[in-house]
Amino acid sequence: MTGAFTAFDAHAMRRALELAERGLETTDPNPRVGCVIARGETIVGEGWHERAGEAHAEVVALRAAGAQAAGATAYVTLEPCCHHGRTPPCTDALIASRVARVVFALRDPNPHVNGGGADRLAAAGIEVAHGLLEAEALAQNPGFVKRMRTGRPWVRLKSAASLDGRTALASGASRWITGEAARADVHAWRARSSAVLTGIGTLLADDPRLDVRRTHPVQRAPARVIIDSRLRSPPTARLFDAPGAVIVMHAADAVAAPGAAGALAERGARIEAIHGAPRVDLAAALHRLGELAMNEVLVEAGPTLAGALLEAGLVDEWLHYLSPTLLGPAARPLAAWPALERLDAAPRFAITGIEALGNDLRLRLTPERL
């Protein structure tokens, strides 16, 4: 099912990836998918999946192509589904349209599909090929793929610090270390995330909203998740006034104040008891978020929770915003980390991207050794 691809095949798949990008902030918990229908080297239909419960990319593109789909090639960024979910199987729509060939970038890791879509198309006499621009398709859907493979979401840690690695003054003041362009970028990452996660320390110290604030309308509000072992979250916290669900995860074996859970539930919070004492088991918490169909989780937390996630090997990607300032040795550190006796034992990260945002830099990092 793999093989040589033409220059036009690559062109059509790049266009399908561009279309998929339009659903970057809206498809959750579904993957972002784009589709192009072409006869020869002429594109006759395009589509992308916009949100869960609505038509998939293949169906939208086939509708646009109409009768011209017969004998055409369909380029899809993800293997067409072959099961009934909120919508009928896309394989059925492709077969009914009488396309001659289907090229998809990434095999669907969903156990309900995972090769079954390709097999269904091939059994109907359709030529099938895959693997074209696979890495690019994976980069669009890291959370969906990881959740399907491991049961946990893609964890993206966000931090902002001075040149000397400090995130706030000793007093806790941190507004603002970075400029407007960097803060706007953070809101874009929030908008694509299933949830924004923080710890009780940050909630009590900063009372953040953790919502998406932009000049254009927000189409989907990410959930806000609080790691709060003893249910100390105040019901008056500002994040309860922002759109979107609030999930409070506490340690099942820790002692909370009487009535704390009820007061938070009255504010609309979903209370989740997670194994662990005296603290929440972070791996178990992330697994529970996976069960709740969370694909990408953006962590905006203080040094304690950030360090704990890093030490446990639970961070997939780190977005670090670097401000050209100095805050001094008394200021708060970036992440709590055990003392090292040897330099070669230090955690190391690969830099996968650097972008200037106003007067700040954003580093994209992936762990190499923790």
Identify the active-site residue in 25, 46, 50, 58.
58
- CA distances to 223, 250, 287 from 270, rounded to whole Å, are 10, 11, 16
Please indicate whether residue 18 is annotated as part of the active site.
no
Please tell me the distance from the alpha carbon of residue 205 to that of residue 332, in angstroms, as a whole number: 13
Strands 195-199 and 270-274, by their bridges, are unpaired
SS3 96: helix
For residues 20 and 48, the answer to whether their CB atoms sit within 8 Å is yes
Q: Give the residue ranges of DSSP H helices in 312-354.
A: none
**Amino acid letter for position 66:** G
- Greatest alpha-carbon span in the chain: 70
Helix (H) or strand (E) holding 272: strand 270-274
Contacts of 52 (CB under 8 A, 6+ apart): 27, 28, 29, 30, 86
Here the tokens at position 61 are: 């593109």
Residues taking part in catalysis: 58
